[in-house]
Structure 1
């Protein structure tokens, strides 16, 4: 499945900064960063469950916001992109 993951983590405290780094690290393990707080993810249903659980374990739901958009099949193959060239193919090899 194709996902778009976006997050906004409150960073006015050291704890918030740590949560932000943890959320970013989790997302880096599942997809490609396309902007500072935006990731394109191609995964299976089981991987999505693990991704959601990992993020839920880190964020403060009263202060942070994470949105996971499930896109139509192969939607990431048909992205109109302006500006700097796309650095990664979302379906290409993924090395951690």
Structure 2
């Protein structure tokens, strides 16, 4: 993947889980995010992708949620922002700059 054509995203979500339908939506949102990036917190993912991948990600997440109850935020980070992250505690299992397979 050409580095200049990629972007760094931070995806966060809050899905209602009181109902069984909400629990299913939460599971679906997590699976979608796992397909595009790697989990850094329970509902936070780092994603390195191209613009077309971002469009697919947004469409899939939009289709998975109930917009009246759930919330997703996608932050586009400045170039090389993940290189400037200070991390304390358990090391990452995945390199966000590694190959992206969708």
Structure 1 and Structure 2 fold alike (TM over 0.5): yes
Q: How does 1:1-96 map to 2 (within 5 A)?
A: 1-94=7-100
Please report the TM-score for the alignment, with normalisation by the length of structure 1. 0.95
Q: In the comparison of the two structures, how many residue pairs are matched? A: 96
Q: In the TM superposition, what is the alpha-carbon distance from 1:17 to its structure 2 partner? A: 0.3
CA deviation profile, 1:5-51 (whole Å, cap 9, x unmatched): 00000000000000000000000010011111000000000100000
Deviation above 2 Å: which 4+ runs of structure 1?
Answer: 93-96
